[in-house]
Amino acid sequence: MMEKSSSEFDRRFLDVEENLKVIRSNIAAAALKSGRQPQDITMLAATKTVPVEVINHGIALGIDHIGENKVQELCEKYESYDLAQCELQFIGHLQTNKVKNIIGKVSMIQSVDSVRLANEISRLSLSKGVTTDILIEVNIGNEPNKSGVLPTELYDLIEQTALLPSLRIRGLMAIPPAEAKMAETQGYFSKMSQYFIDIKGKKIDNVTMDYLSMGMSSDYSQAILSGANMVRIGSALFGPRIYN
């Protein structure tokens, strides 16, 4: 892999600065329109394929939540992240045999979709003496080849997972079908918001429903208007992903 020149980094740094201004403005507008304050919305920077130098520049600009999709990439970057003022979360599909690599490194795992995975997170967290925050990922579009618990199985998964030690259910996460039209996406967001409200109202022990994580680069404003209080933004912030 070729080393990036300082001028390339300088260009990306400037792009991130300008993009971040736009994103913060859009988040603020959507928050106010939804009856909330801009500070009520957590922006998580999705950093898949993004060089650590660029990530750390974003952190220096005030980004305080970052999320990786791949365990191997997270581990390769881990020692270089500037995490003094920033939380690192895992937001991608997680295999049970890789849980051991991220427990104690991340503040939250957003992609828990089975009791088997939750059990492994609980077991390893207990053995390391830590408590791991999780979100339950919902396959809101019932897509056969996509991760996430089906909506019909959501409540059972939450009730079983809530009983496990050394983890805390902090909310829900979802990714609507990529090919969905705007009106369809709105419907998926609305369903997720209703699940979030319903589960919060049940007041289940060890379930706080603090975060509804939905909305990405193309639809984060729409998600906020539908009740999201965490959005995961990658390409709109860092530019198109570059795969080497």
pTM of the model: 0.95
Alpha helices by DSSP H, listed for the chain, are 6-33, 52-60, 71-77, 115-128, 154-161, 182-202, 220-225, 235-238
**How does DSSP assign 40-62, residue by residue?**
GSEEEEE-TT--HHHHHHHHHTT
> For residue 7, what pLDDT is reported?
77
- Calculate the alpha carbon distances from 213 to 58, 116, 232 in Å: 20, 22, 7
Q: For the segment 84-142, what is each residue's pLDDT rounded down to a tens digit?
A: 999 999 999 999 999 999 999 999 999 999 999 999 999 999 999 999 999 999 999 99
> 242 is written with which tokens?
């570059």
Task: Answer yes or no: is pLDDT of 2 > 50.
Answer: no
Structural domains in the chain, sorted by start: 6-238 (3.20.20.10)
Task: Answer yes or no: is pLDDT of 181 > 70.
Answer: yes
> For residue 9, what pLDDT is reported?
87
Place 216 in a pLDDT band, splitting at 50, 70 and 90.
very high
